[in-house]
Amino acid sequence: MEKRKIKDNIYWLGSVDWDRRLFDSLIPLPDGTTYNAYLIQGSEKTALLDSVDPPMADELISQLAGISRIDYVIAHHAEQDHSGTIPAVLARFSDAKVVCSAKAKGMLMDLLGLSEESFITVEDGETLSLGDKTLKFIYTPWVHWPETMTTYLQEDKILFSCDFFGSHIASTDLYVTDEGRVYEAAKRYFAEIMMPFRSIIGKNLEKLGSYEIDMIAPSHGQIYPRPALIMDAYRNWVSGLPRNTVAFPYVSMHESTKKMADHLISALVAKGVNVEAFNLTVTDIGKLAMALVDAGTIVVGTPTVLAGPHPLAAYAAFLANAIRPKARFLSIVGSYGWGGKTVEILAGMIPNLKLEVLDPVLVKGLPREKDFKALDTLADAIASKHRESDFK
C-alpha cells in the first residue's frame, strides 16, 4: 500500500497484516493487525515515527521511495514489531539518528545490534523541533514495556501513542469508522497485554489528561479522530468498578463438571448475575482475557486429573494470575474420582490476585441433589457479594 496523507506533511506508512493469527506465539489475532509508522515532514527536518515488523520491511522501504532525507527515527518502543525495520531504514538513510528514551537505547542495542552512535536519547517532556513542527516526548512506561514513550505533535495536537490505545484489526480504514468493532478489539488488546500494568497505566492516563489531543495515532489499528472513545474506555478498564458478571472458564471430561457448570450458570442468571462462560477445550483465550477485564467474580470449573486441576484449567489460572484482573471474588467447582488437591493447587497458582475465596463445590463423581443445592448456595453468595460491592 502507498503512504497515506493524514494532514499536510503528516503521513501514515506501514503495513496491513491480513494473515497474522498469533502474536508472540501466544496471543490470538482473529482479525489480523497493522503496523503503523508515521512520517512528519517539518520545514527543516523530517522524522519517521517507528517502523514495521521485519517481514514487512520491504513495504515500508518502498513507501519511503522519493523521500530524500530522514533526520530522525523516533523509536517509541523496542519491541520488534515497531523497531525491527529500523536497521533497514538506517541503511537507506545513513544520516538518520534514532531518538528514544535512555532505557530504549539499551534495549535497541541488545535487540537489534545497533551501535551507540546511532542514538539521540531524550528525557521525559523534552521537545525536538522539525522547524514548523515540534515533537514533545512523553514517557509512558509500561504500556507495555518499561522503556515506552509517546510523541505529542504540538502544532497539530496529534498523539502518536505506539502500543498504547492500539487494537489488532487489519483494515484499509485509516480512521476508526466502526467504533463498536474497534472498542472490542481494543479491549482484547488491553486485556492481553496492558491489564497487568493497570495502576501505572492509570498514571499515564492522568499525565496525558493535561494535553489537548485532537487525534490519537497508535501503532496498531486505526487512528482515533475522537480520542475520548479510547481514553474513556481505558479509564473504565483501569479503574472502574468490576461489573456484575462472573467469568467462568471450565473444562469437563465426563460431563459431571459440565452438569455443575450448567446448573451454576442457570442459578446465577436467576439471581440477576451475568455470566460469561468459556469451555476451555474450544475457547479463544483472548475472549476469556476480555471477560476478565471487568468480571467481579472468577469461577473455575475443573475435574480432578492426576490429583490436580485439568491442565486447561491450570492454564486459565496461570493466565488470570499473569494478567491481574480486578475481580474481587473466586470460587472453584468440579468433580473428582477418588481424591486430590485441586482447590489447593489452583488457589496456589494465583498469588498475584487479591481475591476473597467463596466456598468451592467439589463433588465425587456425578453431582447429586445436595451438590446442586451447594451450587445454589454459591450462586447466592456471589449475588450477595456483588450487591454489597455495588457491581452493576
Q: Which residues bind ligand FEO (CB under 6 A)?
A: 77, 79, 81-82, 144, 163, 219-220
Residue 143 beta carbon to ligand FEO: minimum distance, rounded to whole angstroms: 9
CA–CA separation, 301 vs 250, rounded Å? 4
When the beta carbons of 82 and 188 are compared against ligand FEO, the nearer one is 82
Phi, psi torsion values for 88, nearest 5 degrees: -70, -35
Residue with nearest beta carbon to ligand FEO:
79
When the beta carbons of 114 and 194 are compared against ligand FEO, the nearer one is 194
Cα–Cα–Cα angle for 174, 178, 179, nearest 5°?
A: 105
Q: Which three cell numbers stand for residue 176?
A: 476508526
Classified as helix, coil or strand, 142 is coil
Q: Which three cell numbers stand for residue 357?
A: 475465596
Residue 219 beta carbon to ligand FEO: minimum distance, rounded to whole angstroms: 6
CA-closest candidate to residue 302, choices 277, 276, 334: 334
Residue with cell 518499561: 146
**Chain Cα centroid distance, residue 328:** 21
Residue 20 beta carbon to ligand FEO: minimum distance, rounded to whole angstroms: 12
Residue 167 beta carbon to ligand FEO: minimum distance, rounded to whole angstroms: 11
Mapped to the 3 state alphabet, what secondary structure does 219-263 carry? CCCCEECCCHHHHHHHHHHHHCCCEEEEEEEECCCCCHHHHHHHH
- The residues with which 134 forms a beta bridge, in sequence order, are 129
Q: Which three cell numbers stand for residue 386?
A: 456483588
When the beta carbons of 93 and 189 are compared against ligand FEO, the nearer one is 189
Give Rg (Cα) of the chain: 24
When the beta carbons of 51 and 331 are compared against ligand FEO, the nearer one is 51
When the beta carbons of 73 and 363 are compared against ligand FEO, the nearer one is 73
Residue 144 beta carbon to ligand FEO: minimum distance, rounded to whole angstroms: 6
When the beta carbons of 17 and 276 are compared against ligand FEO, the nearer one is 17
When the beta carbons of 82 and 259 are compared against ligand FEO, the nearer one is 82
With residue 375 as reference, give the H or E element that holds it. helix 369-388
Residue 157 beta carbon to ligand FEO: minimum distance, rounded to whole angstroms: 24
Residue 75 beta carbon to ligand FEO: minimum distance, rounded to whole angstroms: 12
Residue with cell 482447590: 343
Residue 190 beta carbon to ligand FEO: minimum distance, rounded to whole angstroms: 13
Cα–Cα–Cα angle for 24, 311, 21, nearest 5°?
A: 25
Give the pairing type, strands 308-309 and 158-162: unpaired
CA-closest candidate to residue 375, choices 242, 256, 243: 256
CA-closest candidate to residue 98, choices 79, 123, 125, 117: 117
Residue 79 beta carbon to ligand FEO: minimum distance, rounded to whole angstroms: 4
When the beta carbons of 82 and 133 are compared against ligand FEO, the nearer one is 82
When the beta carbons of 191 and 362 are compared against ligand FEO, the nearer one is 191
